[in-house]
Amino acid sequence: MKAYEEHGGTAEEIAQAKANILYVMGTMGHYVGDGCQPLHITKHFNGWVGDNPNGYTKARTIHSWIDSGLFRKTGGINAAMIADRAKPAARLSNVPNDPAGRDPIFVQILDYIGSQTPVVEQIYIYEKAGKLDPAQPQSKEGRALLENQLLRGAKMLGDLWYTAYKDAGPDNYLITHLKARKAALRAEE
């Protein structure tokens, strides 16, 4: 977008660039949000499967309950409270330090997703203890767990957006073509 704004892009090109950015940000938000919902990263995504020595629920409704059901039954998501508790976005490290040579941002995304693994069983423990049942006073603990997950997702999303903003280099290909177009238009005058 910056290339269009600074090098003679048309109003339509700038508007399309803005729309493209919003689309990518929205798609990224969806996937990062999915990553903070621990049931999205497990085979136990909609009820415990396989060996179940702890007697966790096998109900095929737990996934939708964690996605939105508990929030819906306990007053919705309080955006102001989430915003008050949110941490400012920070730049993710782009220093390579992975022995396998993987991109450092990719490694941090994998770490973010992997950090959800312990929360999977915690959700099932909470469900078994009634901490996800809005009729029980202890449901406040379940709601707090899910709010913390939202905060984790918001932090990661902010960090990714901020890092992309700070680390994005100029689009030299586009700039070259915009300059050539501008020069051609001047030559026609």
Tokens of 166: 């700070």
Model pTM? Answer: 0.88
What's the confidence (pLDDT) of residue 5? 93
For the stretch 62-104, pLDDT in tens is: 999 999 999 999 999 989 988 999 999 999 999 999 999 999 9
55 domain-assigned? yes
33 is in which domain, residue-wise? 2-177
1, pLDDT greater than 90: no
Indicate whether 25 pLDDT > 90. yes
CA-wise closest residue to 88 among 167, 169, 151, 168: 151
Is position 189 within any domain?
no
Residues 6+ apart with CB under 8 A from 75: none
Whether 121 is covered by a domain: the verdict is yes
Q: What is the pLDDT of residue 189?
A: 81
| Span 106-162, pLDDT tens digits | 999 999 999 999 999 999 999 999 999 999 998 999 999 999 999 999 999 999 999
Quick check: is 184 in a domain? no
Domain count, the chain: 1
Please report the pLDDT score of residue 172 as a whole number: 95
